[in-house]
Amino acid sequence: MPRPEVVFRTSAIIIRRYEYGEADRLLTLFTPDQGKIRVIAKGVRKPTAKMAGHLELYSKVNLLIRRGRDLHRIEQAEQVQPYQPQRESLIWFGYAAYLVELLDRFSEDEEPNPPLFGLLDIALNWLSAPDSDYALVARYYELRLLRLTGFEPSLFRCAVGQEEIEAQAQYFSPLDGGVVCPDHVRGHAAIPLSLNALKILRYAQTRDFDKVRALQISAPMHHLLERIMHSYIAHLLETRLKSADFLHLIERFREAPQIPPSP
């Protein structure tokens, strides 16, 4: 006996979309209470579709969804937060794609994780604020996402010896899942980690977002932090993220920004 159809309301961030059939789109949504769900938006590629403009990628929407046996279907859509900065920016697009791909890779279908939704919301908002440090948003987001999904890197104890890490230069080992002290470091995959870099990572892992956003980070430091986080994430996922490759490509073109000295 078929289940009776149910209509429900939810807030959602659109994380992926494909064209489907004549004029439809399949969307992957991230919702607070149902996690990642897949839905169909019928007819939205026609010019006069009412919902079309409300279902933009990487935006927050309020939806009315009809639960179907195979596919849920969007009945109504209203955009609540487009996130985008006023000026079209390629680098923004690259970073938004990266944040969202990370979430997609680290979450399972229909597995609720309200704090993760909150995190993505904060990160996309922050990314769209004027003069925001995109790379810092990404580092903060990565560390928090890893915590919320159970892959938090160990930054306060040696990932091998388990003893408390001293305030000095260390190593970061993607393989061992965190910071490794000079006594326990082994293999060649470990990345030398300056004391400053360790401090920034710990700060971003434990402090609130409004504290973290005040950090001023130099370009070389950003490169190191990115290398550390990307190698750790690539190790966990056993693959490189396509959007991370895309970011590397477009960042090469960006003029060197004016960055104040490191903390």
Partner 1 sequence: MSKAIPDSVTRLIEAFSRLPGIGPKTASRLTYFLLRAPEDVSTTLAGAISELKSKTRLCKVCFNITEEEVCGLCRDERRDAKLIAVVEEPLDVLAIERAGIYNGRYHVLHGVLNPREGIFAENLKIKELVERVRSEAITELILSTNPGMEGDATATYIKDELSRAGVTVKITRLARGLPTGADLEHADAATVMRALEGRQNL
Binding site for partner 1 (CB under 8 A): 16, 19-22, 47-48, 50, 53-54, 56-58, 79, 82, 84, 88-90, 93-94, 97-98, 100-101, 104, 242-243, 245-247, 249-250, 253
The Cα–Cα gap between 123 and 137 comes to 6
In whole angstroms, the minimum distance from the beta carbon of 100 to partner 1 comes to 7
Q: How far apart are CA 67 and CA 70, in angstroms?
A: 9
Residue number, 59 or 205, with CB nearest to partner 1: 59
Q: Which is nearer to partner 1, 191 or 234 (CB)?
A: 234
Nearest approach, Cβ of residue 69 and partner 1 (Å) = 14
**Beta carbon of residue 262, minimum distance to partner 1 (angstroms, whole number):** 29
Cβ proximity to partner 1, 253 vs 261, nearer residue? 253
- What is the token pair recorded at 95? 């970073």
Q: Nearer Cβ to partner 1, position 98 or 172?
A: 98
d(CA 213, CA 41): 36
Minimum gap (Å) between residue 241 Cβ and partner 1: 9
246, 201 contact by CB (below 8 A)? no
Residues 134, 120, 207, CA angle at the centre, nearest 5°?
70
Task: Tell which phi-psi region holds residue 58, choosing left (phi > 0), alpha (psi between -120 and 50) or beta.
Answer: left
In the complex, least distance from residue 92 CB atom to partner 1, rounded to whole angstroms: 9
Q: Judging by beta carbons within 10 Å of its beta carbon (0-12, 13-18, 19+), is residue 21 exposed, middle or buried?
A: exposed
**36 CB-near residues (< 8 Å, 6+ apart):** 15, 28, 29, 30, 104, 107, 108, 109, 110, 111
Closest by Cα among 55, 74, 61 to 8: 74
Shortest distance, CB of residue 82 to partner 1, whole angstroms? 6
Separation CA 143–CA 151 (nearest Å)? 9
Between 38 and 207, whose beta carbon lies closer to partner 1?
Answer: 38
Q: Which residue has the tokens 């680098």?
A: 91
What is the total residue count of the chain?
Answer: 263
Least distance to partner 1, CB of residue 244, Å: 9
CB nearer to partner 1: give 84 or 173. Answer: 84
